[in-house]
Amino acid sequence: MSESKDFLRMIVEEDLKSGKYKEVVTRFPPEPNGFPHIGHAKSIVINFGIANDYNGHCNLRMDDTNPTKEDTKYVEALKDAVEWLGFQWGDDVHFTSDYFSKIYDYAVELIKMDKAYVDSASEDETRENRGTVKQAGKRSKYAQRSVEENLDLFERMKNGEFKDGEHVLRAKIDMSAANMKMRDPLLYRIRNVHHFRADNKWSIYPMYDFAHCLSDYIEGVSHSICTLEFENNRDVYNWVLDTLGLTTSRPYQHEFARLGINYTVMSKRKLLELVQGGQVSGWDDPRMPTIAGYRRRGYTPESILNFCDQIGIAKANSMVDVAQLEFCIRDDLNTKVPRVLAVLDPLKVTIVNYEGNEEIDAPYYPHDVPKEGDRKIPFSKEIYIERDDFMENPPKGYFRLTPDQPVKLRHAYIITCKEIIKDTSGNIIEIKAEYIPNSLSGSDTSGIKVKSAIQWVSIAEAKKVEVRVYDRIFKDEAPEGIEDINPDSLKVIKNAFIEPAVITQKPDERFQFERQGYFYFDPIDSTDEHPVFNKIVGLKDSWSKKEKPAKSEAKPQTKKVQVDGEVIAMSEKQQTLFDKYTSIGLNTEVSNTLARDEQLSSFYEETLSELNSPIALANIVTNEVARELKQMQVDELKFSAKQIAELIKMVDDGTISNKIAKQVFEEMVISGENAAQIVENEGLVQISDPSVISPIIDEIIAKNPDNVAKFKAGNTKLLGFFVGQVLKTTGGKANPVVVNELVAKKLGE
């Protein structure tokens, strides 16, 4: 449990606390028209996670309102994903199609209320009439149809009497709404097609905006959580529910930012393109960001869950670094998985002074992983090592085998290079080496210090395996489409070698091939004769980083200069006000704010007639009153100009501090009580007497020796900390000016 809660959980907690809902009910509502990706995982974790955290429940609902795109195979993929991630959806999977009858009835109700009509305009006409973002739309002429006619037409639509596109059902809202979604949104369209669950029962299908809110309502959902792009749809969501009077314990929609990860794409359309274009082997290709893909790649559910936890939930569009995901899988596998030796790019080494063979005991887990298990590794005269692990002319800092540098064979002996065999074109094809007999791991008495240990396999006993090494599927950090595809995202190694225990003992499905990375026994293409391993992720590699440092990203130190845009000029009337305000001593900023806002200026004038304190009044009006006026009209305010004047008077005569004035104001906003009354009720009179404040300061100083030391060491910011503490213990009543002085004095001693 992290100490800070995300904004959704804060909303849920408030709603539970206020008694808005007895139980929190969420839902994960995908459309079954594609395989779920890691973005869905985020949504799953949010919805099921919140339900779990607050003892509620979460439904799995297939939003199957568009029969032309949906299919059972996707339903199965979705169920698999949720299950694999470890969540339970209760008795049944829900389907929006289960509610088609109820949704139909609600539509009939809307028609009866004259809040919906059958529109028979063509698709083009409808689009044209919708207007643009800057221009109001025009309502269709069919909107005038009588309730009876609408009822009749709608029923006949349902009965399949019309062809696709002949009519639609529309909500009657507002064709000139600023929110385009509210311009008489479509509720139903005709689709004379087969639905994968409802068969041919329906000729009309509800649109998202109509079906979703009602499905949520029918299921008793309390918090309908979706992604940011539905923000505009929220108005329709609320309109439908409110208009139908479905207001008791109804759901509310909340939006969060969808997940983006760099070097991949997350839209179903683009993913489908990759599948259909043959760029990948399928939805479960290990390079795909689908759940099926990660699963096939070898990712664990725990790692995905952990990733979702780490990235948090917020409303800012963001792009998470894939390194964060890679960290999660490494972190998970590190403590779980056996280590074995495998050679991907073999270089033959003949140990000239070794004869016969032996079996070496080796633990599966390193000293820092508290797991038991070991195996025997065959050792003999002829072995393979990784081609990278030998260099004839090594760079500085190279720790592995060279003509002059011995190396340890992991779990086995130290060897030294005696001779390099090359083919006619100069490629190294074999190393002749000698081993140090008394250097066996665990009983090494050779006294030779090596800089590293490398993996190896004995040629005679090693199993040949296929290894598939994956790189990011796109070369661009924010890929647009197939043109950004990384042509080298898949490397198939047919002739990799692995120690035999992996195949015969099968100690796990996932392994760490020492020094190389984590690998997964591919569950689909592997057979006993032909094992296939997928590389899940490499180990962190600080050597190759050092060797070829990523091009130094010279920090663009340029402080971004921002040009200010033009400010709209004031009208004559505003200008007159502005001049007046500056002349009575207000600064230009305050004068400007006041002059440009009619509500504010008239409110200000009113306070001014009550009290001659132009600056203080202007300040509270432009700052605090303005905030309230953002949310309501003047006549909705609970407090009057006169009350504000009274409040400021108390500040002016020193009864209360500015800080307290704000507190009193908050109270006034809610209760509408007079300032004097609030001050009296809560005993908010300011304390300015140093003899009262002093001991409090002493106490706080005594309690925070660390911060005192830091302050004395030069961290003057801490003055604010001490002042804050004093104000806190006095309930805000201490005169901050006095406190500041005293604290500074005492700390200066």
Partner RNA sequence: UGGGGUAUCGCCAAGCGGUAAGGCACUUGCUUUUGGUGCAAGCAUUCGGGGGUUCGAAUCCCUCUACCCCAUCCA
User: Would you please indicate which residues are annotated as catalytic (active-site) residues?
Assistant: 31, 258, 268
Distance CA 87, CA 48 (A): 7
DSSP annotation of 369? S
Q: According to CB under 7 A, which one of 108, 136, 246, 685 is a site residue for RNA?
A: 136
400 binds RNA (CB under 7 A): yes
Q: According to CB under 7 A, which one of 616, 644, 700, 701 is a site residue for RNA?
A: 616
Q: Are 369 and 332 in contact (CB under 8 A)?
A: no
Residue 94: CB atoms within 10 A of its CB come to 20
Site for RNA in 572-591 (CB under 7 A): 587, 589-590
Q: 57, 61, 59: which is closest to 30 by C-alpha?
A: 61
* Shortest CB 384 distance to RNA, Å: 16
Residues whose CB falls within 8 Å of the CB of residue 521, separated by 6 or more in sequence, listed in order: 509, 510, 511, 531, 532, 533
* Shortest CB 296 distance to RNA, Å: 23
* Shortest CB 81 distance to RNA, Å: 16
Residue 285 or 467: which CB sits closer to RNA?
Answer: 467
Q: 173, 183, 101, 116: which is closest to 147 by C-alpha?
A: 116
Side chain identity, residue 694: S
Residue 310 or 674: which CB sits closer to RNA?
Answer: 310
* Shortest CB 314 distance to RNA, Å: 4
Q: 353, 350, 372: which is closest to 363 by C-alpha?
A: 372
The tokens for 135 are 């221009």
* Shortest CB 572 distance to RNA, Å: 18
122 binds RNA (CB under 7 A): yes
205 binds RNA (CB under 7 A): yes
Q: According to CB under 7 A, which one of 147, 180, 420, 482 is a site residue for RNA?
A: 180
Residues whose CB falls within 8 Å of the CB of residue 496, separated by 6 or more in sequence, listed in order: 342, 343, 344, 345, 346, 464, 465, 466, 467, 533
Q: Which stretch binds RNA (CB under 7 A): 377-385, 489-497, 564-572, 635-643?
A: 564-572
Q: According to CB under 7 A, which one of 624, 641, 648, 696 is a site residue for RNA?
A: 624
439 binds RNA (CB under 7 A): yes
Distance CA 420, CA 68 (A): 66
Q: According to CB under 7 A, which one of 192, 200, 247, 324 is a site residue for RNA?
A: 324
Phi, psi of 226 (to 5 degrees): -140, -175
190 binds RNA (CB under 7 A): yes
Q: According to CB under 7 A, which one of 127, 371, 464, 491 is a site residue for RNA?
A: 127
514 binds RNA (CB under 7 A): yes
Query: Which three-class secondary structure state does DSSP give residue 266?
Result: coil
Site for RNA in 290-309 (CB under 7 A): none
- Lay out the site mask for RNA across 215-254 (x = CB under 7 A, - = otherwise): -------------xxxxxx---------------------
Rounded-to-5 percentages of helix, strand, coil across the chain: 40, 20, 40
Q: Are 583 and 595 in contact (CB under 8 A)?
A: no
Phi, psi of 594 (to 5 degrees): -65, -50
* Shortest CB 475 distance to RNA, Å: 17
* Shortest CB 386 distance to RNA, Å: 10
Q: According to CB under 7 A, which one of 17, 494, 551, 560 is a site residue for RNA?
A: 560
Distance CA 266, CA 469 (A): 22
Q: What ranges in 159-233 are assigned the alpha helix state H? A: 208-218
Residue 285 or 644: which CB sits closer to RNA?
Answer: 644
Q: State how far Cα 194 lies from the chain centre.
A: 37
487 binds RNA (CB under 7 A): no
Site for RNA in 15-54 (CB under 7 A): 31
Q: According to CB under 7 A, which one of 20, 79, 130, 463 is a site residue for RNA?
A: 130
Distance CA 669, CA 709 (A): 42
212 binds RNA (CB under 7 A): yes
Query: Which three-class secondary structure state does DSSP give residue 576?
Result: helix
564 binds RNA (CB under 7 A): yes
Q: Which stretch binds RNA (CB under 7 A): 14-22, 312-320, 604-612, 636-644?
A: 312-320
Site for RNA in 51-80 (CB under 7 A): 63, 65-66, 69
Pairing of the two strands 204-206 and 223-227 = unpaired
Q: According to CB under 7 A, which one of 334, 582, 655, 688 is a site residue for RNA?
A: 334
> Any idea what the Cα angle at residue 731 is, between residues 728 and 735, rounded to 5°?
85
Q: Which stretch binds RNA (CB under 7 A): 18-26, 84-92, 172-180, 491-499?
A: 172-180
Site for RNA in 344-383 (CB under 7 A): 366-369
Query: Which three-class secondary structure state does DSSP give residue 687?
Result: strand
Q: Which stretch binds RNA (CB under 7 A): 18-26, 99-107, 142-150, 447-455?
A: 447-455
Q: Which stretch binds RNA (CB under 7 A): 150-158, 161-169, 244-252, 377-385?
A: 161-169
Distance CA 390, CA 430 (A): 10
Strand partners, 320: 261
Residue 4 or 18: which CB sits closer to RNA?
Answer: 4
Site for RNA in 682-721 (CB under 7 A): 704, 707, 710, 717-718, 720-721
Q: Which stretch binds RNA (CB under 7 A): 97-105, 201-209, 485-493, 641-649?
A: 201-209
* Shortest CB 51 distance to RNA, Å: 19
Residue 530 or 638: which CB sits closer to RNA?
Answer: 638
Distance CA 435, CA 382 (A): 12
Q: Which stretch binds RNA (CB under 7 A): 461-469, 503-511, 536-544, 675-683?
A: 536-544
DSSP annotation of 436? -
Q: According to CB under 7 A, which one of 17, 494, 548, 555 is a site residue for RNA?
A: 555
Q: According to CB under 7 A, which one of 316, 554, 569, 702 is a site residue for RNA?
A: 316
Question: What angle separates helix 705-712 from helix 718-729, to the nearest 10 degrees?
Answer: 150
Torsion sign across C-alpha atoms 668, 673, 676, 682: negative
Distance CA 517, CA 199 (A): 49
